[in-house]
Amino acid sequence: MTDLTKLGVAAIRNGVAAGEFTAREVAEAFNANVAAAAALNAFIVTTPDHALAAADKVDTDRAAGRPLGGMAGVPIGMKDLFATQGVQTTAASHILEGFIPQYESTVSGKLWAAGAGMLGKLNLDQFAMGSSNETSYFGNVISPWRRSDGGNAALAPGGSSGGSSTAVSAWLAPAATGTDTGGSIRQPAAFTGITGVKPTYGRCSRWGIVAFASSLDQAGPMARDVTDCAIMLGAMAGFDPKDSTSLDLPVPDWAGSLNADMRGKKIGIPREYRMEGTDADILKSWDDGIAWLKDAGAEVVDISLPHTKYALPAYYIIAPAEASSNLARYDGVRYGLRDLPEGAGLQDMYAATRSDGFGDEVKRRILIGTYVLSAGFYDAYYNQAQRIRTLISRDFENAFKDCDVILAPTTPTAAFALGEKSDDPLAMYLNDVFAVPASLAGLPAMSVPCGVNSQGLPLGLQIIGKAFDEQGVLNAGLAIEKRAGFIATPEKWW
Ligand code: GLN
């Protein structure tokens, strides 16, 4: 029998519907892989029973001839930023350890309604702040990938959705949810050779997702290929009256409309993304992507996004500013951890809880965010950053007069080693340089695997689209996927 854990979303769903195997068999196979992969530390908690119960329901529905949902029989990993009813939800922070939500996030609820089951809650950077998964209170995730040229360094799976990227690339799950505030779906997808989509801001409801930076946060799928992402995004997206920033638009049939024919399409190549410090392998992969899209019939045009160099500093003001406000709610009263030293008053309890409960990177962001919002500095930093954000959005609006989608690298380098950048926040932040402009502009963007570097590590190409044009992004991604022929997989060592 085929190894069911090598199958993706579409293959599992179709195989279950056709009766080639049962949803229970699929869930059991993935549960076994999850249980055998503790060395990767991809999960904070595992929920094999949830996966089995969901699978049994699908098998029963099928036997009774009832209609099956778009994700029927597909067990997935759930980033531990999504509130899941009755299952601990921590955002990988000590301050939320032991927090058991009494409600389900809209996105996870939609996935269960579509027939998916949950294998467990995936590790991440604490409060989704980071690019390597090293800020998690529950220990870092280890990428299943290793460099081919000797040197057995443990590599970062990317962040913040590093548990998600690891679970999918190590066959612990056919797909996983991610969230992307400034690259957290795209960068880990690129680092691990999988596909990840950040939809237009507002496509997926933020209700029940632990908030990091509310004007940027967006959920999206991470899976083995473009089709699987399109299917899963269809199940995740949709208007939600409980999120005031949710888009009140119909959800298109992205998977059903996939089309890799690029004839008549224009692909923009932003000249400002040719940055110093970008790896030669990455630049080569970008050239490959250009050639593939031309081969698919597209016309390639040079475009300019002149304010690109200000995007990273603006992001690292706006995101911490919003985080400092969002994280004010963790005070020892309402959720999770409470540190109440002997004889302490209320203020002492706040201070003790927050200093014990938050990790260093989270504290750094709260400090920066509070500083840039403080009366004397608000104009100099926060307002200025907001103005830059407007200019960046305008850059994209102008560029999209001349092209349909934009092609760029996802990251400036392939995966780095754990520990390599963890003492240098600026070096870590620089990793997000290609990802944050689309985040600031709220645009849909994806990363699709395009090859490996000289050390055998995966590289991703990024496609950025116009607002609401996920279809254009997915189609260009599919055109690349078909030509890249990416088949590299990590060698199993765990
Ligand atoms: N790496 C970025 C940061 O640390 C992005 C994180 C994210 O998208 N959640 O803020």
pLDDT digits (tens, 9 = 90+) for 107-143: 999 999 999 999 999 999 999 999 999 999 999 999 9
Give the E-state strand segments of 21-174 in sequence order: 43-46, 75-79, 117-122
What pairs with residue 471 in β-bridges?
none
Beta bridge partners of 84: 87
Ligand 1 centre to CA of 161 (Å) is 9
Q: How far is the CA of 128 from the centre of ligand 1 (A)?
A: 6
Pocket test for ligand 1, best of 133, 181, 365 (most atoms within 8 A of CB): 181
pTM of the model: 0.98
User: Quick one: which atom of ligand 1 is closest to the CA of 184?
Assistant: 8
Nearest CA to ligand 1 atom 10: 129
Whether the CB-CB separation of 124 and 92 falls below 8 Å is answered with yes
| Residues 330, 354 contacting (CB under 8 angstroms) | yes
Question: What is the spatial distance between Cα 410 and Cα 406, in angstroms, rounded to a whole number?
Answer: 12
Ligand 1 is surrounded, with C-beta below 6 A, by 128-131, 159-160, 180-184, 212, 319, 432
If we measure between CA atoms, which residue out of 86, 112, 113 comes closest to residue 101?
86
**Successive 10-residue mean pLDDT values, the chain, 494 residues:** 92 98 98 98 98 98 98 98 98 96 98 98 98 97 93 93 98 98 98 98 98 98 98 98 97 98 98 88 97 98 97 98 97 89 91 96 98 95 97 98 98 95 91 96 98 96 98 98 97 95
Q: Distance between CA 226 and CA 201 in Å, rounded?
A: 19
For domain 4-259, give the CATH superfamily.
Amidase signature (AS) domain (3.90.1300.10)
Centre of ligand 1 to C-alpha 275, Å, is 20
Are 6 and 171 in contact by the 8 Å Cβ rule? The answer is: yes
Are β-strands 299-303 and 445-452 bridged in parallel, bridged antiparallel, or unpaired?
unpaired
**Which backbone phi and psi does 209 adopt, to 5 degrees?**
-100, 130
CA dist 481 and 389 (Å) reads 31
Q: Where along the chain do its domains lie?
A: 4-259
- From the number of C-beta atoms within 10 Å of its C-beta (0-12, 13-18, 19+), residue 290 rates as middle
Please state, in angstroms and rounded to a whole number, the distance separating the CA atoms of residues 13 and 183.
29
Tell me the CA distances in angstroms from 157 to 131, 441, 457, one per residue in order. Answer: 9, 26, 11
160 is catalytic: yes
Report CA 400 to chain centroid distance, whole Å.
25
Task: Indicate the DSSP class of residue 273.
Answer: G
pLDDT in tens, 324-338: 999 999 999 988 899
Q: In what order do the strands lie in the sheet with 266-270?
A: 43-46, 117-122, 75-79, 175-179, 219-223, 195-198, 445-452, 458-465, 405-409, 266-270, 299-303
Q: Which of 93, 108, 165, 184 is catalytic?
A: 184
Nearest CA to ligand 1 atom 4: 130
Ligand 1 mutation pick, 160, 324, 421, 424, max ligand atoms within 8 A of CB: 160
Q: For residue 413, what are its two tokens? A: 């380098």
Answer yes or no: 285 catalytic: no
What are all long-range contacts of 6-10, with beta carbons under 8 Å and residues at least 24 apart?
6/171, 7/174, 8/174, 8/175, 8/223, 8/224, 8/225, 8/227, 8/228, 9/71, 9/74, 9/174, 9/175, 9/223, 9/224, 9/227, 9/228, 9/231, 9/232, 10/227, 10/228, 10/231, 10/255
| Ligand 1 atom showing the smallest separation from residue 432 Cα | 1
- Predicted pLDDT at 1: 61
- Kindly state the helix (H) or strand (E) to which residue 196 belongs, with its residue range: strand 195-198
Distance in angstroms (rounded) separating the CA atoms of residues 163 and 43: 6
H-helix or E-strand containing 464? Answer: strand 458-465
